[in-house]
Amino acid sequence: MSKRILIVDDEPNIVISLEFLMKKEGFEVAVAGDGEEALAQVAGFNPDLVLLDVMMPKKSGFEVCEALRADPSRAGLQIVMLTAKGRDTEVAKGLAIGADAYVTKPFSTKELLARVKEMLGIA
């Protein structure tokens, strides 16, 4: 069974490139354009990993991360925060509220893919 990845970003170009990359690698992919949609997608799609943008409309990535971490049934869900905000305080906040990894934009898709595979236990 292929792993499921939810891509959450309000930047269409990023969503398109990540969706293409992850599907090409054999992942099942769903997308969401804002924080509220992300929470709805997690409930219905049940992803193994979420690529989560920080700055989004309706709910920020931080709020989505906190909501997911507050749900005991989502304990195994891997969360990778993606953001243009690479300051140490932002990274610390993301990790403190439960993100498993923090990747700053612009990022290497090859490095991101390697990180995703590593987090999902795929060689």
pLDDT at residue 90, rounded to an integer:
79
Could you give the CA distance from residue 99 to residue 44 in angstroms, rounded to a whole number?
21
Tell me how long the chain is. Answer: 123
pTM higher than the cut 0.85: yes
**Closest by CA position to 84, among listed 111, 65, 104:** 104
Task: Please report, in tens digits, the pLDDT of each residue of the chain (123 residues total).
Answer: 689 999 999 999 999 999 999 999 999 999 999 999 999 999 999 999 999 999 999 999 999 999 999 999 998 999 999 988 667 777 788 888 999 999 888 888 889 999 999 999 996
Structure tokens that stand for 45 in this block: 């799609």
Could you give the CA distance from residue 54 to residue 97 in angstroms, rounded to a whole number?
12
pLDDT at residue 104, rounded to an integer:
86
Sign of CA dihedral 97, 89, 53, 5: negative
pLDDT at residue 1, rounded to an integer:
62
Structural domains in the chain plus CATH codes: 4-119 (3.40.50.2300)
